[in-house]
Amino acid sequence: MNDTPVIGVLALQGDVREHLIALASADAVARPVRRPEELAEVDGLVLPGGESTTMSKLAVLFGMLEPLRERVATGMPVYGTCAGMILLADKILNPSPSSRPGSSKGDPTPGQETVGGIDMIVRRNAFGRQNESFEAAVEFDGVPGGPVDGVFIRAPWVESVGARAEVLAVYGGHIVAVRQGNAMATSFHPELTGDHRVHALFTDMVRAVG
């Protein structure tokens, strides 16, 4: 890999275009990814915001879930925002209504599957409903230049992290950004603000693996 990594955005559902723009601004070659063969061609991947249950079902439908799990497990850099954070969680609280009662992850087809990769427990919709969305400045470890702008839309938060996960940001007493190895996740949407420093950090993570 040269200094211009190829970074994909999972393009099954969600705010794909905004991530493509942010990654391009961070000097990456940005591509939408919908199929396993496209996933095989990228150096890193963004899991965008959207509706996590829909995204997980579409990943199964498009034959993407197992390839995603395999590449994340073998070290591909991955960054999840909002719904993408949920997909990277090893466990979910308040899973989708179609999930099996008492299950933290949900049933494979009617419920909610995750890609996994970060040892954390995430609570869905923790910051409230759509009409309770807000924008806030967030102190973010590893990002120079002061707080980053974050848009919280039906956002999750992280209830707890395991020993391997590093907390990067806290807002309102709740964990909103984490990293574990080559995997990073935020509760909020930096791609919606014009502040592309978090994407620059992720692009540097991809370069470091190369």
- Cα–Cα distance measured from residue 140 to residue 152, given in angstroms and rounded to the nearest whole number: 15
Q: Are 85 and 187 in contact (CB under 8 A)?
A: yes
Contact present, 117 and 183 (Cβ < 8 Å): yes
The span from the CA of 43 to the CA of 52, in Å, is 23
Query: Which tokens hold the place of 22?
Result: 């942010």
Active site residue 82: yes
- Verify whether residue 191 is a known catalytic residue: yes
Q: Which of 113, 191, 196, 199 is catalytic?
A: 191
Please say if 189 is a catalytic residue.
yes
Active-site residue among 18, 19, 189, 199? 189
Catalytic residue (one of 18, 19, 82, 199): 82
Q: Are 140 and 167 a contacting pair, CB within 8 Å?
A: no
CA dist., res. 89 & res. 117, Å (int): 7
Mind telling me the catalytic residues?
82, 189, 191
